[in-house]
Amino acid sequence: MKAMILAAGYGTRLRPLTESLPKPLLPLLGAPLIVWNLLLLRQHGLTDVIINLHHLGHLIEKELGDGSRFGMHLSYSREQIVLGTGGGVKQVEPFFGGEPFLVLNGDTVLELDCGALIRFHTERGALATMVVRDDPDVEQWGGVEVDAQQRVVSINGQGKGPASPTGLHQRRMFAGVHVVHPHLLRDMPRGQESSIIDAYTRALARGAMILGYEMDGYWSDVGTPERYAKAQRDAQAGLINLAARKEANCP
């Protein structure tokens, strides 16, 4: 399976840090954030990756190169305007060759078994699988309603899908990682800014199967100075096992 890392954003909440360095290159334990995510993908056998670029994107490309030093093959999508989480993926749709693919935010720090996620998605035959997590601030991030069968029922109250037989729903936070079949993108215009969530809500309204895969490992969005500092402290305290990613051989 191929993968995509989203790395085109401006990182405005982290200024002035991101005025001269794109957020995915901010350091964590001596390596850029995006490198840790590349190593996470490699750890689970995902070595063919495309990265979208805009703000200071040339610095990301210079840092990572063709990926050979990581045992990976990296491609780049250079966006003239920021296309968002939907438009950025739609722009590179041909890269995936009509096959399902994994999408990961380049500025998120997390522990996730990508192999287990992909197996879950494949075995259930879903159009897409969103990684979700329990979070006390779920309303701040936007809630994903998941039923007892792990089907997504709605996102931010929109795109109501089939009612759960039990009527029991849990509100979860979308962790910014998902496995997607290209059919999810079919109604999205190419070359325009859009959110992938819009594609999800349309798919739910059509009755498509969207699943929620619950993660319980470490997760942090480093979008503010406070959260970036906390991720630094957590990494130094060993709350996330980054060292294992350097040691792991590609399956």
The domain limits of the chain are 2-238
Mean predicted confidence (pLDDT) in 159-177:
72
Token reading at 206: 């059509």
Specify the pLDDT at position 52. Answer: 97
Can you identify the CATH homologous superfamily of domain 2-238?
Spore Coat Polysaccharide Biosynthesis Protein SpsA; Chain A (3.90.550.10)
What percentage of the chain reaches a pLDDT higher than 70? Answer: 90
Across the range 10-21, mean pLDDT stands at 75
**Could you give phi then psi for residue 65, rounded to 5 degrees?**
60, -145
- Return the pLDDT at 209: 96
Q: Tell me the whole-structure pTM to 2 decimals.
A: 0.90
| Position 166 pLDDT exceeds 60 | no
Length of the chain (residues) = 251
CA 89 – CA 104 distance, rounded (Å):
11
DSSP code of residue 217: S
Is pLDDT above 80 for 6? yes
Residue 185 DSSP symbol = G
What is the reported pLDDT for 77?
97
Residue 177 or residue 249, greater confidence: 177
What would the pLDDT profile of 67-111 be if each residue is shown by its tens digit? 999 999 999 999 999 999 999 999 999 999 999 999 999 889 999
Q: What is the rounded average pLDDT of the residues 45-54?
A: 96
